[in-house]
Amino acid sequence: MIDTLQVKITENSNPRLASTEFKDIAFGKIFTDHMFMADFEDGEWKNLQILPYGPIPMSPAISALHYGQAIFEGMKAYRLPNGEVSVFRADKNFERFNISADRMSMPVLPEEVFMQGVAALIGIDKGWVPTQENYALYLRPVMFATESSLGVKPSETYKFIILASPTGPYYTKALKVKIETKYTRANEGGVGYAKTAGNYARSLYPFAEAQKEGFDQLIWTDSATHTLIEESGAANVMFVLDGKLITPAVGETILNGVTRDTIIVLAKNKGITVEERKVTVNEIIAGAKNGTLTEAFAVGTAATVTQIGEIGYDGELYQLSESTTRIISTGIAKELSDIRNGLVEDRFGWNWVV
Ligand code: PLP
Ligand code: COI
């Protein structure tokens, strides 16, 4: 049983909800009227509160800025047909948050702080959960080190904040992706499995280089040999090869995606053969050449299910099948969307009605 915590509430006296245009909102640009915040001090989490979304005073010496002790999560709340709001698989994001915290030498966050923070924020900003198809309220829990100290050591103090941002699809078209064979996102012994800020910082330069070549996104390969496929941008990647759904097995260098796990469950349930294993660049390119690669797609909370239309590798561009022919991924994407939006039975108990 989770204890009920005291959450202090300070309402926003200048709410923006009524004046916000919900059409065509870009990912992560608009935030709701409130945020949830808690402080880690003297070895415990305290000062749980809902307050107006806005700047918070900080010392320029906080260690998150200098040494990168910062982790985050991403999940979505959906509007159900009866008007209620449901958050998708928040328990998995909570679990992963503490896996990231552990790797970055940050304190464990109690489940009740995470869950009641989400519930309190949705409680006050429920009106911000979009009703349009393919829209949701993106929830962004973040924890960062707040000690003003330039010594390289774990901070003694932290802040945990949850932001909420109404959003539509992160990508609106099939992607042209480049299999990256120079830069890497992660390496064995590193922090690839943690959702930590530096993983995203290091991806920006290679991403910009690929964009200059006309690509929308990267497919990361292993740092030792560049022969194994890992992820695609800030999403996991899946393929349909010879009728089987294949995806790289998660490990130290791959984020254990909630969407990935969800799609694997749905696919197996439909009787589709799923292989979680090492996926070689060679087999994907061979499949693209001989037509046995019938589908390729990126999966993530922000990305949802995004089709990959073209793959660039070693100076060649491989055109994949039309998105309309992709029965497996589009079928699963539809089922997933229907579960999240409460249009079909939530057979696996994934929706948490807040
Ligand atoms: N891989 C990376 C690097 C990500 O940032 C994300 C996004 O969260 C994912 C994979 C997909 O994970 P999830 O489905 O839990 O959002
Ligand atoms: C998410 O899907 O929640 C992510 O974290 C991707 C984000 C970095 C755009």
74 lines ligand 2 (CB under 6 A): yes
Per CATH, the number for 4-168 is: 3.30.470.10
Closest ligand 1 atom, residue 255 Cα:
1
Tell me the CA–centroid distance for residue 301 and ligand 2, in Å: 6
Whether 238 lines ligand 1, by a CB cut-off of 6 Å, is no
Q: Which two three-digit tokens encode residue 191?
A: 């922090």
- Mean pLDDT for the chain? 96
Q: What is the CATH number of domain 175-340?
A: 3.20.10.10
Residue 1 has pLDDT above 50, yes or no: no
**Extended beta strands in 157-273, E state:** 158-167, 175-179, 217-221, 229-232, 236-241, 244-248
Q: What are the angstrom distances between the C-alpha of 348 and each of 74, 92, 206, 269, 339?
A: 20, 13, 38, 11, 9
pLDDT band at 206 (very low <50, low <70, confident <90, very high): very high
Of 327, 326, 231, the C-alpha closest to 270 is: 327
- Say if residue 219's pLDDT is above 50: yes
The number of the ligand nearest the C-alpha atom of 247 reads: 1
Report the atom number in ligand 1 closest to the C-alpha of 260: 14
Residues 263 and 257: their CA atoms lie apart, in Å, by 10
Residue type, 302: A
Where, residue-wise, is CATH 3.30.470.10 in the chain? 4-168
Q: Grade residue 71 by pLDDT with cuts at 50, 70 and 90.
A: very high
* Whole-number Å distance between alpha carbons of 45 and 160: 9
Nearest alpha carbon to residue 52 among 17, 77, 28: 17
Environment class of 21 (CB within 10 Å of its CB; exposed 0-12, middle 13-18, buried 19+): exposed
- Which of 76, 88, 184, 259 to probe ligand 1 with, by most ligand atoms within 8 A of CB? 259
Contacts of 169 (CB under 8 A, 6+ apart): 134, 304, 306
CA angle 339, 344, 346 (to 5 degrees): 55
CB of residue 38 inside a 6 A radius of ligand 2: no
**What are the start and end residues of each CATH 3.20.10.10 domain in the chain?**
175-340
**114-146 pLDDT, tens per residue?**
999 999 999 999 999 999 888 999 999 999 999
Q: Is 234 in the pocket of ligand 2 (CB under 6 A)?
A: yes
225-273 tens-digit pLDDT:
999 999 999 999 999 999 999 999 999 999 999 999 999 999 999 999 9
